[in-house]
Structure 1
Amino acid sequence: MALQGNLNDFKLEEVIQSISTSKKSGKLEVDGVMGMYGIYFSNGEIVHANGPFSIGEEAILDVFLEINGVFSFITNIVLPPRTIKKDLFDIIATGINLREENFEIIKKITKTTKMLPNTKNDKNGVELSKDEIKLLKYILDGTPISIIMEEMSMSYVKFLEVLKGLLRKEIVTLGG
């Protein structure tokens, strides 16, 4: 029996726990808004993850930010070297917390979502980080989010951290 489904029907943590409890080995593929992710299991233990913008522990946390998409579990694969050493409980707890903290933003994001300068507020004297300045340059060019993340070599988690700073400072808004 193949394990496959939709993240609208099954939460990622439920799928991971099912694979872990069954002590399965293989790759859980998740095709989400930002792209394709792979979570590799050896006897039910997560040993590696990769995503469109990250690998290892960053990738496993990035995939928890995907709330829309499909998944399937593939067996009979060659497992990559271990890049994840964290306990399954820690991974799941951290992933759930990240998803909940960022839920209002991630439900508005697609691969083609653009961020727009907020022209309603004049924000003189606001201090920006180096990453926020880089991100603003892309925003002014109208670059879609997925391209920004790729060109800045930024994980989904890191991108959301920088974006939240700009949104909090009312420098940008999310557009279509």
Structure 2
Amino acid sequence: MALQGNLEDFELTDVIQLIQLGQKDGGLRIQVDDNVGVMYFKNGMVIHANTNFLKGEPAIDSILSWKKGRFVFNPSEETLEHTVDLPIQQVVLEAARRIDELKKIQKLIPSFDIIVKIVEVPAVGVEKINLKPKEWKVLSFVDGVRTIKEITKRTSLSEFEVSKILYGLLSSALVKIVQKIEPVKPEQEKDTVKEKKKEERGFFGLFK
């Protein structure tokens, strides 16, 4: 039986843990609109991942942030690349930590379609600005025209990394939002129904 389903019905971390419990080999393919990500497993361990634009751990970061789309596990899908060697427990812990951080980040950055620009006169003196290489990399693509989604494509970093860096730059008043798209608020009732479905289906609902 195939391991497949919808991310709106099942948590991706539950699917990953199931692959680990069975010590499976193969590829877990996830598709969200035009975005495709694959996580490759060997004896239940993640050994490689890629998306349209990313490879390795940045790709895992990106995939774990996806909350909708279809997934299917194919035992015959293999890779010659070995970019990561992560225990599943670490992947799950990172996912939990990321969820907590994203809740904070989304207060300032509710959408990847937001456009940001560099502040002309920063509140902090230029001599006091001390950024890390990844922060400079992201900042170099901030031009008041590109969306966060477009900046992410050019940096080879995950959406999570870019949004985390921009959160810091926004908080430090080095950049500012010039176009803000309000997120669509989901109906509470629909969310409750979806969560109930996840609980009722459990692992067994993953197999079709």
Global fold match (TM > 0.5): yes
Kindly provide the CA deviation profile for residues 136-163 of structure 1, in whole angstroms up to 9, marking residues without a partner as x.
5644342133321222222333212211
Residue 53 to residue 104, structure 1, CA distance change in 2 (3 Å): farther
* 2:123 matched residue in structure 1: 124
* 2:187 matched residue in structure 1: none
For 1:172, which of 176, 180, 205 is the aligned residue?
176
Q: Aligned partners of 1:155, 1:58: CA distance in 2, in Å? A: 5
User: Is this contact kept in 2: 1:7–1:68, CA < 8 A?
Assistant: yes
* 2:5 matched residue in structure 1: 5
Residue 128 to residue 35, structure 1, CA distance change in 2 (3 Å): farther
Kindly provide the CA deviation profile for residues 64-121 of structure 1, in whole angstroms up to 9, marking residues without a partner as x.
22223332212322333322222221121122212321135468334xx1223499xx
Say whether 1:80 aligns with 2:110: no
TM-score relative to the length of structure 1 = 0.78
Residue 52 to residue 105, structure 1, CA distance change in 2 (3 Å): farther
Give the percent of matched residue pairs that are identical in Structure 1 and Structure 2.
27
* 1:58 matched residue in structure 2: 58
Structure having the higher Rg? 2
Partner amino acid for 1:175? K
User: Is this contact kept in 2: 1:49–1:60, CA < 8 A?
Assistant: yes
Secondary structure, counterpart of 2:143 in structure 1: helix
* 1:159 matched residue in structure 2: 162
Secondary structure, counterpart of 1:140 in structure 2: coil
* 1:148 matched residue in structure 2: 151
Deviation, structure 1 residue 27: 0.9
> Where in structure 2 are there 5+ consecutive unaligned residues?
182-208
* 2:35 matched residue in structure 1: 35
Q: Aligned partners of 1:67, 1:150: CA distance in 2, in Å? A: 19
Q: Aligned partners of 1:40, 1:69: CA distance in 2, in Å? A: 18
Deviation, structure 1 residue 41: 1.3
Partner amino acid for 1:143? R
Residue 89 to residue 138, structure 1, CA distance change in 2 (3 Å): same
Say whether 1:94 aligns with 2:94: yes
User: Is this contact kept in 2: 1:27–1:38, CA < 8 A?
Assistant: yes
Deviation, structure 1 residue 134: 5.5
User: Is this contact kept in 2: 1:33–1:66, CA < 8 A?
Assistant: no
User: Is this contact kept in 2: 1:53–1:156, CA < 8 A?
Assistant: no
Deviation, structure 1 residue 123: 4.3
